Amino acid sequence: MTRLRLGTRRSALATTQSGWVADQLRALGHEVELVEITTFGDTSTQPLSAIGGTGVFAAAIRQALLAGEVDLAVHSLKDLPVAPEPGLTVAAVTRREDPRDALVARDGLTLGELPAGAVVGTGSPRRAAQIAALGLGLDVRAIRGNVDTRLRLVHDGKVDAVVLAAAGLARLGRLDEVTELLDPLQMLPAPGQGALAVEVRSDDPLATAAVRSLDDADTRASVTAERALLAALEAGCTAPIGALAEVVEGMDGAELSVRAFVGSEDGAGELRRSVTGPVPEAERLGRELAAVLLEDGARHIVTVGLGPAVTEDRPPDPDRAGGHDPQRVANRPHDPADRPDPTAPERAL
């Protein structure tokens, strides 16, 4: 039995996820205390892009962990920066929930049933790019807010539909509002979507040992490939990149299938590629798929987040390298009148 303090944000999703991990650990005989941590991202009303992107949420919890104020941190893996944090270790990656994105639309509509011009709200360039790539004439608009806020936009008639992670809806008990689970053939999730990372101090053998059995080997292999791909594309957390790795039954037994999407938010270009290979080579497979995408022109499609790339008419801007570019929020960026206010909501995965 180990006594563990688990640092968590206060949001409904964060406390549900942390509570779930705490319950798993209690079932193993450990004593777990939840410690609420208010992050700058929670209190600031500034756009996320102005204060460091989705990583700001993870950063405050990580600080508390490094300072010894808590012993464990639970993160949605898709919100965790790919760069390792010195002194910390992801001691468990929990078994992934449904990794798919879900549509919540008015009147029970599916994506294909939404009429041209229907407004789809999303804060995610990845979702925006894949919706645009379907060529349905949908009007993708930037929104911000927690899961509850986003769902309310549909119920209040402010948008016709929103796209959210099925995993988050499942954890919050709101799967019944989903009108379509989106097939990864059309909508690849964010790398790591649906999985939780349990982080400990690297020099804390007790906490490491306590959470070890929560680690799921297939999920860890999958997210290892997805995050290696993201890292190899030098992609920031707001880049329009989707990836899904799955352990599947191949000709010679289990193998890892890795699929990825890169696109632009105006639907002007998109690439989908896949590789399969041995499960233990997850990291190499992720890097290999990134290389295929780059070879096939990913840099010319994605002008956001791919490091110092670029297109001829858009010289790289060091202030924006790897980060959010407000101009890219535009649904049809070639029409200046269509550009939204650059202080518009930031994009998140």
Ligand X SMILES: NCc1[nH]cc(CCC(=O)O)c1CC(=O)O
Q: How far is the CB of 77 from ligand X (least distance, A)?
A: 7
Site for ligand X in 122-161 (CB under 6 A): 147
Q: Which two tokens stand for residue 5?
A: 């303090």
- Structure tokens, 255: 């193998």
Q: Closest Cα partner for 190 from 232, 254, 233, 240?
A: 240
- Stretch in the footprint of ligand X (CB under 6 A) among 59-67, 84-92, 162-170, 246-254: 162-170
What does the chain come to in residues? 349
Q: Which residue has the tokens 């349990």?
A: 198
If binding is defined by CB under 6 A, does position 349 make contact with ligand X?
yes
Q: Residue 312 carries which side chain, given as an amino acid letter?
A: E
Residues binding ligand X: what is the number (CB under 6 A)? 12
Alpha carbons 15 and 258: distance in angstroms, whole number:
31
State which of residues 81, 168, 242, 326 lies at the interface with ligand X (CB under 6 A).
168
338 catalytic, yes or no? Answer: no
Cα 93–Cα 96–Cα 100 angle in degrees, nearest 5: 140
- Please tell me whether residue 348 binds ligand X under the rule CB under 6 A: yes
Q: Which stretch binds ligand X (CB under 6 A): 27-35, 85-93, 164-172, 212-220?
A: 164-172
- Coil, helix or strand at residue 139: strand
Q: Are the C-beta atoms of residues 95 and 317 closer than 8 Å to each other?
A: no
Q: Which is nearer to ligand X, 2 or 20 (CB)?
A: 20
Residue window 268-287: x/- pattern of binding to ligand X, with contact defined by CB under 6 A: --------------------
Which C-beta is closer to ligand X: that of 194 or that of 242? Answer: 194
CB of 96 to ligand X, least distance (A): 8
Instruction: Report, in Å, the least distance between residue 194 CB and ligand X.
Output: 5
Cβ at position 4, least distance to ligand X in Å? 22
Q: At what angle do helices 12-27 and 147-155 cross, to 10 degrees?
A: 130
Question: Any residues with CB less than 8 A from the CB of 67 and at least 6 apart, and which?
Answer: none
For residues 78 to 97, the per-residue mask of contacts with ligand X, x marking binding by CB under 6 A and - elsewhere, is xx------------------
Catalytic residue among 79, 101, 266, 325: 79
Given the rule CB under 6 A, which of 73-81, 173-181, 216-224, 300-308 is the region that contacts ligand X? 73-81
Q: Does 222 bind ligand X (CB under 6 A)?
A: no
Pair of tokens at residue 233: 């594309």
The per-residue DSSP string of 215-256 comes to --HHHHHHHHHHHHHHHHTTB-TTSSEEEEEEEEEETTEEEE
- Which residues of this chain interact with ligand X, rule CB under 6 A? 76, 78-79, 147, 164-165, 167-168, 193-194, 348-349
Enumerate the active-site residues. Answer: 79
